[in-house]
């Protein structure tokens, strides 16, 4: 479904990504793990057209989207849930969801919103509430729901567990698995490596803008270098 080939991104003189290559197959959850500053979020932003690509290719369902504008990439079937949720705080839950459907045919908006409300009952209860007054977990649900309003075939998720309590983290990851089970392919960026590797099919480890390890998530979860660098106490306790 997605092929990233020799991806390079620069911020001024700093090369943030150094020839990053990976694949995502239809129906998979693939996770990118790594420390802060490794290039995980930059990778997602490059795929969705939010940062300029200096070199390499991004191919989605056989189509080269390397130079496509961000709104065109959304129209092609890629949804992006950004780091920090980025909901529109002074708009209601319903209005945030409607913005996520700006490319959706009008007759489908109500149907898609009902699907989101079925998945996230708390959003239905709070649909007329300002998004900025929601809890962190509710805002994350809203950010995911907003991306789902356009029925993407590939969902990019950037740090969905950030700032959430352990119970909410568990709930969010269960939701990600449900979304995947219903047919949406997922590319997940996550600092909580233990949780990410527990639900992913395959994984890639980014260090300083380079992929240094890849393989089935279960194998990487048991890899000594991954356990030492990213799993810490969670690995030893597990």
The pLDDT of 173-180, averaged and rounded, is 94
> What is the per-residue pLDDT across 47-65, written as a single tens digit (0 to 9) for each?
999 999 999 999 999 999 9
In order of their start, the domains of the chain are: 2-37+49-185+200-206+218-223 (3.40.50.300)
Query: What is the pLDDT confidence band of residue 35, given thresholds at 50, 70 and 90?
Result: confident
User: What pLDDT score does 63 carry?
Assistant: 97
pLDDT at 94 over 80: yes
User: What pLDDT score does 168 carry?
Assistant: 86
User: What pLDDT score does 231 carry?
Assistant: 61
Contacts of 204 (CB under 8 A, 6+ apart): 22, 30, 31, 32, 33, 211, 213, 214
Q: What's the N-to-C CA distance of the chain in angstroms?
A: 33
pLDDT at 235 over 70: no
Choose among 212, 175, 237: nearest CA to 32.
Answer: 212
> What is the per-residue pLDDT across 112-123, written as a single tens digit (0 to 9) for each?
999 999 999 999
Question: Higher model confidence: residue 155 or residue 232?
Answer: 155
Residue spans of beta strands (DSSP E) within the chain: 2-11, 14-24, 29-33, 55-60, 63-64, 78-81, 154-158, 185-189, 202-207, 210-216
User: What pLDDT score does 92 carry?
Assistant: 96
At which residue do the structure tokens 């048991």 appear? 222
Q: Which two tokens stand for residue 51?
A: 């940062």
Q: What is the DSSP string of 73-94?
A: HHHHTEEEE-TT----TTSBHH
pTM as predicted: 0.90
Question: Higher model confidence: residue 230 or residue 167?
Answer: 167
Question: Higher model confidence: residue 8 or residue 230?
Answer: 8
User: What pLDDT score does 232 carry?
Assistant: 57
The pLDDT of 151-177, averaged and rounded, is 91
Tell me which DSSP letter residue 155 carries: E
User: What pLDDT score does 238 carry?
Assistant: 35
pLDDT at 163 over 90: no
CA 90/CA 73 separation, integer angstroms: 27
> What is the per-residue pLDDT across 63-88, written as a single tens digit (0 to 9) for each?
999 999 999 999 999 999 998 889 99
């Amino acid at each position: 479904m997605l092929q990233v080939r020799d991806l390079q991104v620069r911020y001024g003189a700093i090369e943030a990504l150094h020839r990053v290559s990976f694949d995502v197959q239809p129906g998979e959850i693939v996770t990118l793990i790594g420390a802060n500053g490794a290039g995980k979020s930059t990778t997602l932003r490059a795929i969705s057209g939010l940062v300029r690509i200096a070199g390499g290719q991004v191919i989605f369902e056989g189509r080269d989207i390397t130079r496509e504008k961000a709104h065109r990439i959304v129209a092609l079937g890629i949804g992006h849930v950004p780091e920090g949720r980025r909901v529109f705080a002074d708009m209601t839950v319903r209005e945030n969801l409607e913005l996520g459907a700006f490319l959706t045919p009008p007759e489908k908006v109500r149907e898609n919103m009902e699907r989101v409300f079925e998945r996230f009952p708390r959003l239905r209860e709070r649909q007329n509430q300002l998004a900025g007054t929601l809890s962190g977990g509710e805002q994350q649900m809203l950010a995911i729901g907003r991306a789902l309003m356009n029925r993407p075939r590939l969902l990019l998720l950037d740090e969905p567990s950030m700032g959430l309590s352990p119970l909410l983290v568990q709930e969010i990851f269960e939701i990600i698995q449900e979304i995947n089970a219903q047919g949406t392919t997922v590319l997940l960026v996550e600092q909580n490596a233990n949780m990410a590797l527990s639900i992913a099919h395959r994984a890639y480890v980014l260090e300083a803008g380079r992929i240094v390890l890849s393989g089935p998530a279960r194998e990487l979860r048991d890899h000594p270098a991954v356990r030492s660098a990213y799993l810490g106490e969670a690995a030893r306790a597990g």
